Amino acid sequence: MARAKKRRDEAQPAQPRRARKPIVELRDVTKVYPGGHMALDRVSLAIDRGEFAFLVGPTGCGKSTLIKLLIRELTATEGSVSIAGRDIDTLSEKKTPHLRRNIGTVFQDFKLLPDRTVFDNVAYALQVLGASRAEVREKVGETLRLVGLSTKLHSFPDQLSGGEQQRVAIARAFVNHPPLLLADEPSGNLDPITSIGVMQLLYRINKTGTTVIVVTHDREMVDNMRRRVIELYEGRVVRDEVSGGYTEESTTEFGLRMRAEMGVGPEGQTNGHDAHERLF
Amino acid sequence: MSQLFFFIQEAFRALRRNAAPSMAAIVTTVVTVVLLGVLIPIFQTAQSKSEEVRDSLEFRVAVYDDATKSEIDALRGDLEGIPHVASVEFITKAEALAELENDLGKAKSEDLLTQLRDNPLPRNFAVKADDAANLEAVRAAVTPPGPNGKPQPISPIIPAEDPTFDRREDAQKIEQVTSALKIVLTVITALLIVASLMLVGNTIRLSIYTRRREVEVMRLVGATRWFIRWPFMIEGVVVGFAGGLMAILTLWLGKITIIDPLGDTISFLAAQNNSTLSFPALAAILFGAAVLVSAIGSGVTLRRFLKV
């Protein structure tokens, strides 16, 4: 952990640690696509370190555009996007990979490399940093234990269930212990039980201090989790509220409550396939 | 150093995992290199052959039978002084007869000569130009137009009527044909080189296109451009190396089994051994080109997918 923190500071030397600036800050961000479609309309928001935030809204409301702005796959037409106090619009193209190394990303379609084993998929995120073999072995093993896949090191993605593949993707996003983790519809392709498992995993990652932003349109899930919710509608923020009450619960409490509220029932009643995945 | 090892490992893993596109790339390289390996010597041989034909282009300057030796020597000096004259050779009556016999066949020429009783062939100079294109200019210099507008030979020992004649009537035709052949061969070779480059480029593009998702994921986890590019380029080098090696082997087998045995009997093939690039030089050039093209091709094609 200490080592990961050190690297984080090296990658972003401009960031004054004591200032505690919001990890994500958007100021009057407007994004107009070349066709003239306005995806985001003067969006301003700030997300602090260690927060767990949901980004919700119907299809086409600008959620994905916002995520793409954060990883600098797109740049804002107007306004500024800052990550950890650094305006990423002014970031050179050469520096973009360094930004991405500090942001873990998880997608609905997992985006795993099909010709690599579970181990190699997770290891790749460390190899791009030039990590040594020993370091790769240690960290990948540790992270795969965290997500509950230590028995599937040598499986290929197509040999895994959807839930397992998403756990690999989460492991890859987190292996580097980034300060920020973005999840774009992480449970979009998964059944409710598996979805809770994935959310529980993200919650656990959040507990280690990583800021987690989850994009979803699963209203029930969002309401039950009782975290900060930012709702977008036609490119504008229409709701940004923190519904508290359970903020200090442990991962286990979180999991139990989620299952109860979503009506999934106790563990014995699950479909069995994903039951062994749950470690918490 | 460990980074380099990682890239090489990645390249070979990709080749193994994408066996079909890799094979396609190698086969394309083999076909292209073999094609070029056959075509380049053919082109070179044809060129040197056509130059040989051009070299033999000459015309003759007839000399009166009563010309003295000093007059003939003076004329030789004059002919040699004309610009673009490559060589001047004196042909005696006996040599002229031998040429005729050679052209017509012994029986026919003897038959002809018995009717004439005597050797009617004039002594003459064989004048060769340095280039076929200059042949007519040299001829005109031997018989410049006189004051009355008619051609006036430069020496009195040259007959005013028919001062020059061609041993080969179709000299001009040959010249035209060889230059046309040269143009056609140049065009074909150029087209084939362009076509094979496009073929190699297309194969590379196809194999990268099937892996654009992979590249996308690599970028997502923060791989730099060169980190993504190196394995692809090493892959290109391996493909070029394997394809080039197989092609050179094919060419070499073809050379020792087909070309070399035939070279003894067919002069066109034998000419290849003397006047064109040696086989090792050709092999080295083709091999180097195969490796370079596929490595640079991979790197350049990848650029499209590396945009942030």
Q: Which residues contact B183 (CB under 8 A, 6 or more apart)?
A: none
Q: Give this complex's ipTM.
A: 0.76
Instruction: Calculate Rg over the CA atoms of chain A.
Output: 18
Residue A73 · residue A97 · CB < 8 Å? no
Q: Look-up: residue for tokens 């390249």?
A: B11
Specify which residues A173 forms β-bridges with. Answer: none
Residues B258, B262, B267: CA angle, nearest 5 degrees: 135
From B13, B222, B225, residue closest to A100, measured CB to CB: B222
From A112, A115, A128, residue closest to B227, measured CB to CB: A128
Kind and range of the H or E run holding A79:
strand A78-83
pLDDT digits (tens, 9 = 90+) for B41-95: 777 776 666 666 655 667 888 888 888 888 888 888 888 888 888 888 888 888 8
- Domains plus CATH for chain B? 2-52+175-305 (no CATH), 58-167 (3.30.70.3040)
* Closest chain B residue by Cα to residue A170: B221
From B3, B13, B308, residue closest to A96, measured CB to CB: B308
- Give me the torsion for CA of A140, A144, A149, A151, rounded to 10°: 50
The total of other beta-carbon atoms located within 10 Å of residue A180's CB is: 22
Distance, in angstroms, between A173 CA and closest chain B CA? 8
Per-residue confidence band for B263, with pLDDT thresholds at 50, 70 and 90: low
> B220, A97: Cβ pair inside 8 Å?
no
Closest CA to B247 of B45, B66, B36: B36
Cβ-based contacts of B15 with chain A (< 8 Å) = none
Angle between helical axes of A133-146 and A118-127 (0-180°, round to 10) = 130
> A125, B222: Cβ pair inside 8 Å?
yes
Residue A205 · residue A212 · CB < 8 Å? yes
Residue B99 · residue B109 · CB < 8 Å? no
Encoding tokens for residue B197? 């480059």
Specify which residues B125 forms β-bridges with. Answer: B61, B90
> A111, B220: Cβ pair inside 8 Å?
yes
Instruction: State whether residue B189 is helix, strand or coil.
Output: helix
Summarize the confidence of residues B249-256 as an average pLDDT: 89
User: Does B268 have pLDDT greater than 80?
Assistant: no
Specify which residues A53 forms β-bridges with. Answer: A213, A228
Distance, in angstroms, between B308 CA and closest chain A CA? 6
Distance, in angstroms, between B217 CA and closest chain A CA? 6
How far is residue B250's CA from residue B242's CA, in Å, rounded to a whole number?
Answer: 12
Name the residue with higher pLDDT: A117 or B120.
A117
How far is residue A199's CA from residue A261's CA, in Å, rounded to a whole number?
Answer: 14
Residue A226 · residue A245 · CB < 8 Å? yes
Q: What is the model's pLDDT at position A67?
A: 93
How far is residue A134's CA from residue A142's CA, in Å, rounded to a whole number?
Answer: 12
Cβ-based contacts of B213 with chain A (< 8 Å) = 111
Instruction: Calculate Rg over the CA atoms of chain B.
Output: 31
Closest CA to B21 of B228, B216, B214: B214
Per the confidence metrics, is the pTM higher than 0.80? no
From A72, A98, A125, residue closest to B308, measured CB to CB: A72
Q: What is the model's pLDDT at position B236?
A: 85
Q: What is the pLDDT along chain A (280 residues), one digit of tens a residue?
A: 444 444 444 444 444 444 578 999 999 999 999 988 999 999 999 999 999 999 998 888 889 899 999 999 899 999 999 998 889 988 888 888 999 999 999 998 999 988 899 999 999 999 988 888 999 999 999 999 999 999 999 999 999 999 999 999 999 999 999 999 999 999 888 888 888 889 989 999 999 999 999 998 887 788 777 888 999 999 999 988 876 555 667 778 778 887 877 776 554 444 444 444 444 4
How far is residue A235's CA from residue A57's CA, in Å, rounded to a whole number?
Answer: 10
* Closest chain B residue by Cα to residue A112: B217
Task: Give the C-alpha distances (Å, rounded to integers) separating A39 from A61, A108, A236.
Answer: 7, 20, 9
Task: Give the C-alpha distances (Å, rounded to integers) separating A212 from A55, A180, B107, B248.
Answer: 11, 6, 107, 58
How far is residue B254's CA from residue A276's CA, in Å, rounded to a whole number?
Answer: 63
From A73, A125, A130, residue closest to B221, measured CB to CB: A125
> B219, A97: Cβ pair inside 8 Å?
yes
C-alpha distance across the termini of chain B, in Å? 27
Q: What is the model's pLDDT at position A70?
A: 94
> A100, B2: Cβ pair inside 8 Å?
no
Question: Largest Cα–Cα distance of chain B, in whole Å?
Answer: 101
Residue A225 · residue A199 · CB < 8 Å? yes
Which positions 101-160 of A are in contact with B (Cβ < 8 Å)?
Answer: 101-102, 105, 111-113, 115, 124-125, 127-130, 132-133
Encoding tokens for residue A220? 């029930």
